[in-house]
Amino acid sequence: MKVKDLLTDESKWTQNEFARDAKGKRCSSTSSRATQWCIVGAINKCYELGLTHMKMLQLTANHIKSSEPQRANPPLHVNTIISRWNDNPSRTFTDVQALVNRLDI
């Protein structure tokens, strides 16, 4: 499954946590209780830890850095770059959906 197949509507997306359960409480992104994910959490859910997982994180972070150069300074871990983008208060689900569709992740 790809991230774009997991985050199919706004009710499945969250901010400020990798994942939440049906009651809105934080949980592991790979938990069977998870019903909402941020982009990093969705990548964690859809791609097993390993090379492909890391490539998906790097691809996403690189795209964010290239489209928003201010995110490249100072150098940050890929999870931080993606999480800060996802958790920006002005971010919308439409923005998230456009990103994951553009990257085909």
Query: What does the DSSP assignment read for 5-59?
Result: HH--SGGGB-SSSSEEETTS-B--TTSTTEEEE-HHHHHHHHS-TTHHHHHHHHH
Is the pTM of the predicted complex or chain greater than 0.75?
yes
Domain regions of the chain by residue span: 3-103
Structural contact between residues 3 and 86, judged by C-beta atoms closer than 8 angstroms:
no
Integer-rounded Cα Rg, in Å, for the chain is 13
Residue 13 has φ and ψ, to the nearest 5°, of -105, 145
The one-character DSSP state at 89 is T
Q: Which pLDDT band holds residue 95 (cuts at 50, 70, 90)? A: very high
Q: Which pLDDT band holds residue 72 (cuts at 50, 70, 90)? A: low
Q: Which pLDDT band holds residue 48 (cuts at 50, 70, 90)? A: confident
What pLDDT does residue 18 have? 98
Average pLDDT over residues 60-89: 85
